[in-house]
Amino acid sequence: MWPLRKPKGRVTADVLETNGQPIENKVTKRINAAFKKDRERAGKPHKSRQFGWGMADYSVWILEESNITVSGGVTLDGITQGDGSHLDGETITLETNDWLEIEITDGGSDDDFDDNDGNQRLDGAQTIDGVTYADGTRVEAEYFIELEDGEGNVYQAIAFNVRNSSPAYATVEGLAFVGPPQDWPPVGEPLLVTLSLEGPGSSGQPSIPAEDLVIPCFTPGTLITTPEGQRAVEDLSTGDLILTLDNGFRPIVWINNVSLDAGQLWRDPSMRPIRVLAHAFGPDQPNRDMLLSPQHRVLLRGWRTELLFGVSEGLAAVRHLVNDHSVRRAKDVDNVTYIHFMFDRHEVVCADGLWAESFLPGPLAVSSLEEGPRQELLKLFPELGIEKTPDVTSARPILKRWEAALFA
């Protein structure tokens, strides 16, 4: 996302974001070296989120149960066979914006976060609502609910369940929301539960790809490298040629934007951009101070990525690189516009001198767009309109939070 500060004047930002990607580390260096040779022979890029023999790694952001109030003395816990029907007609109020990232590894062949999926495990020991759970603890999406605020806005959520109780559905540790970040509900407002379903991914309900719990995008003011030189991202249009790291100048096939106002950022400060100072990642990387979306990933390269992870280049979410001096949260930003653009394949582009990745959404993220942009996108990428997530390829492996922290 490329943020913009208003009304005090434009603040430039630079970083693109994609869905998940393969993850490599010291333990799997030899395995991935073999896969790299296979990919080079086949001429194929990395499989999105996939790593090793089909194992997927992804994050789910939740609001913990202790930060949520339910009317009528009811709790989130799945007391009715885990289908959420005990919440029908009740109101749920989010009391804070303190979203928690849960890192998950999935030994199956998908990166959906579902109910009754025995492959979904915590990736490392993690503390959720004050309780520390061991690495490998099984987790699942216990039920699906829809909520409505006083203005008729509808939100979708899934119940996050750590399967360490008897019966397994007896506890729900928090809620995760489906769709782009700007659709997360406001804090302090009662939300009426209008629908509850078993699942997702079981009892006849469709799966929810983990990538659709988050949306990546861009922001205005960022200077993108084109054949004519540097151009502001907000001035770009479909058909414009953009410099890519792997394939030279490639045309934009789709571009869109979404804005977050001061009220939305106040309700969800986790969506405030992150300020990256000039030269934070090396000489002229970036070549000036900039703002980035917390979700966006930048390209890291050099001896440390090779030594630590067995790859010459990797992508890391800028939120995982915060160090409170050269990379820090921009608490002074009050209004932001995010711009996202796509090519006919995933690319790494140059913005303000920094290499970062382009946008590619999953099907639920597509459905959350306004009708006009959504129909335009589906005409260009009809495979995004089908129920099953299409294969998504990515240009570089993504570093996990603990891996990226070694660079902060």
Strand-pairing partners, residue 196, are: 145
Question: What burial class does residue 374 get, using C-beta atoms within 10 Å of its C-beta: 0-12 exposed, 13-18 middle, 19+ buried?
Answer: middle
Whole-angstrom Cα distance, residue 304 to residue 316? Answer: 13
In this prediction, residues 165-170 reach a mean pLDDT of 77
| Chain-centroid distance, C-alpha 227 | 30
**Model confidence at 41: pLDDT above 80:** no
Q: In 215-231, which positions are buried (b, 16+ CB within 10 angstroms) versus exposed (e)?
A: bbbbbbbbbbbbeeeeb
Asked whether 110 and 122 are in contact (CB, 8 A), the reply is no
**Model confidence at 241: pLDDT above 90:** yes
| Chain-centroid distance, C-alpha 159 | 18
Whole-angstrom Cα distance, residue 357 to residue 283? Answer: 20
Query: What's the pLDDT score for residue 89?
Result: 96
Whole-angstrom Cα distance, residue 114 to residue 120? Answer: 8
In this prediction, residues 145-162 reach a mean pLDDT of 91
In this prediction, residues 270-281 reach a mean pLDDT of 83
At 376, is the pLDDT very low, low, confident or very high (cuts 50, 70, 90)?
low
Query: What's the pLDDT score for residue 377?
Result: 65
Whole-angstrom Cα distance, residue 161 to residue 168? Answer: 8
pLDDT tens for 199-217 read: 788 777 888 887 677 543 5
Residues whose CB is less than 8 angstroms from the CB of residue 125 and which lie 6 or more positions away in sequence, other chains included: 132, 133, 134, 135
Largest CA distance in the chain: 64
Query: What's the pLDDT score for residue 145?
Result: 93
**Model confidence at 381: pLDDT above 60:** yes
Element containing residue 94 per DSSP (H, E): strand 91-94
Of 234, 247, 218, nearest in space to 318 by CA: 218
**Model confidence at 51: pLDDT above 60:** no
Name the more confident of 62 and 240. 240
Q: What is the DSSP string of 215-231?
A: ---B-TTPEEEETTEEE
